[in-house]
């Protein structure tokens, strides 16, 4: 990171212990939160479906409109790619 810059936003998984357990067995639901300067703006929720893996993005927490939804959708695609959401 260049000098003088700092992070303002994060995407974090809901529970660390559940995240480690889920990664160990390779299954289970996931919830991620996008936060900006300490305020939750968006929720990414994996839906359990044995046929299709889905990720729902909920922007309802961003009542002030501070979060560009295009960035949230791009983050959802990144989460899906990183977590191995793929067709079989």
Please give the residue that has the higher pLDDT: either 65 or 53: 65
Could you give the angle at the alpha carbon of 55 between the alpha carbons of 27 and 81, nearest 5°?
A: 75
pLDDT tens by residue, 6-38 = 666 777 777 666 666 666 665 666 788 888 888
Q: What's the 3-state SS for 4-35?
A: CCCCCEEEEECCHHHHHHHHHHCCCCCEEEEE
d(C-alpha 29, C-alpha 1), whole Å: 32
Q: pTM of the prediction?
A: 0.70
Do residues 35 and 7 make contact, with C-beta atoms less than 8 angstroms apart?
Answer: no
| pLDDT band with cut points at 50, 70 and 90 for residue 88 | very low
């Amino acid at each position: 990171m260049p000098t003088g810059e700092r992070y303002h936003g994060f995407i974090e998984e809901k529970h660390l212990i559940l995240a480690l357990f889920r990664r160990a067995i390779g299954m289970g639901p996931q919830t991620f939160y996008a936060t900006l300067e300490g305020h939750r703006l968006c929720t990414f929720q994996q839906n359990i479906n044995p046929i299709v893996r889905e990720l729902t993005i909920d922007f309802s927490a961003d009542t002030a409109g501070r979060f560009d939804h295009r960035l949230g959708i791009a983050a959802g695609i990144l989460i899906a790619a990183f977590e191995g959401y793929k067709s079989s």
